[in-house]
Amino acid sequence: MRLAVILLLLFISNLYGQTDLSAKYSKSITSKELKELLYVYASDYFEGRDTGERGQKIAVDFLRNYYQKQNIEAAINTKDYFQEMILNIRGKNVKTENVVAIITGSENPEEYIVISAHLDHVGQKNGQIYNGADDDGSGNVAMLEIAEAFQIAVKENNRPKRSIIFLHVTGEEKGLLGSRYYTENPLYPLKETIANLNIDMIGRLDPKRVDKDPNYIYLIGSDKLSNELHEVSELVNSKYTNLILDYTFNAENDPNRFYYRSDHYNFAKNGIPVIFYFNGTHEDYHQPTDTADKINYDILQKRAKLIFHTAWELANMPNRIKLNAN
């Protein structure tokens, strides 16, 4: 019954041209632009983006400048896009910041979809820079391209009905600290945040995966709080991207416990439905060899488009998705 309702909602979206618009604006997400952005964001100049260090400050300036150039607004109660905080990291007070931008919805502006990625990485060790191209440079540049696609729609008078928050969080590598700070000090009400789409490592392939087809993405958490979110995700993928949606790490008994290990978890703890997009680990995970030349940009583009289509559908559906009954 629920699946039939979702199908009907997608059919209604078709009637009003929303699905065609989703296809139209997703074309602005390109492997070329993703590559150009990532070769900057994961360059040595950013010094590994360690929380509170100079390279992380360069990273947040880069993100802020991008949103300014796109004429995408800063979130409320930020200091020019920066949600500033002081984190206690290994007994030291560290000043750092999330970067938060918003596209305000046209019909239901007080309902929010949060797209997130962590802006930090692990910095430098023994004189080597850990660039973090996949972890999580890939998520950040994907979000920038997604934001650009939404903003093109805005410029053509096709503003999403609900608001889209673009949240680049700090301190993930220190224990999901930036996303915890956001959910404890939300810029927009959590009770009106209908979903969090969290992007953490989507530019590589998992060498341990038995099926060697590269056209996959691991999804984690999509059905844990809202079956409707899961069904929207499945149907959008079927219509647009046809990726293999792999739920291996969504299992309750997953020994890796990835559901608890990225920033979506701080939203899930607050009863907000989540999807965690993930390519799996690889030999360059948390190594200085996680560099931009090893990213599969065609796959990164396809995965970014899936996230855009999912966000577009969530933003434009007639009714917000429902939580599962307890």
Own/partner pairs for 187-191, CB < 8 Å, 24+ apart?
Answer: 187/75, 187/76, 187/77, 187/78, 187/83, 187/100, 188/75, 188/76, 188/102, 188/112, 188/163, 189/110, 189/112, 190/267, 190/270, 190/271, 190/272
Task: Report whether pLDDT(223) > 60.
Answer: yes
> Does residue 236 lie in a domain region?
yes
Phi, psi of 85 (to 5 degrees): -155, 165
| Total domains, the chain | 1
Q: Is residue 322 part of a domain?
A: no
Within 8 A by CB and 6+ apart from 217, the residues are 202, 243, 244, 245, 246, 277, 278, 279, 303, 306
Residue 223 in any domain: the answer is: yes
Give Dmax over CA atoms of the chain in angstroms.
58
Q: Give the domain range for residue 266.
A: 2-316
Residue 189 has pLDDT above 90, yes or no: yes
265, 168 Cβ separation under 8 angstroms: no
Percent of the chain with pLDDT over 90: 94
Q: Which two tokens stand for residue 74?
A: 């800063």
CATH number at residue 298: 3.40.630.10
| pLDDT tens profile 2-47 | 555 555 555 445 434 555 899 999 999 999 999 999 999 999 999 9
In a domain, 323, yes or no: no
Rg over alpha carbons for the chain, rounded to the nearest Å, is 18
Tokens of 291: 């560099």
Whole-prediction pTM value?
Answer: 0.95
pLDDT reading at 277 higher than 80: yes
Does the residue 202 lie in any domain?
Answer: yes
CA distances from 56 to 36, 60, 97, 122 (A): 19, 6, 9, 10
Would you give the distance in Å from CA 267 to the centre of its chain? 13
Would you say residue 324 lies in a domain?
no
Is 11 contained in some domain?
yes
Answer whether residue 99 is part of any domain. yes
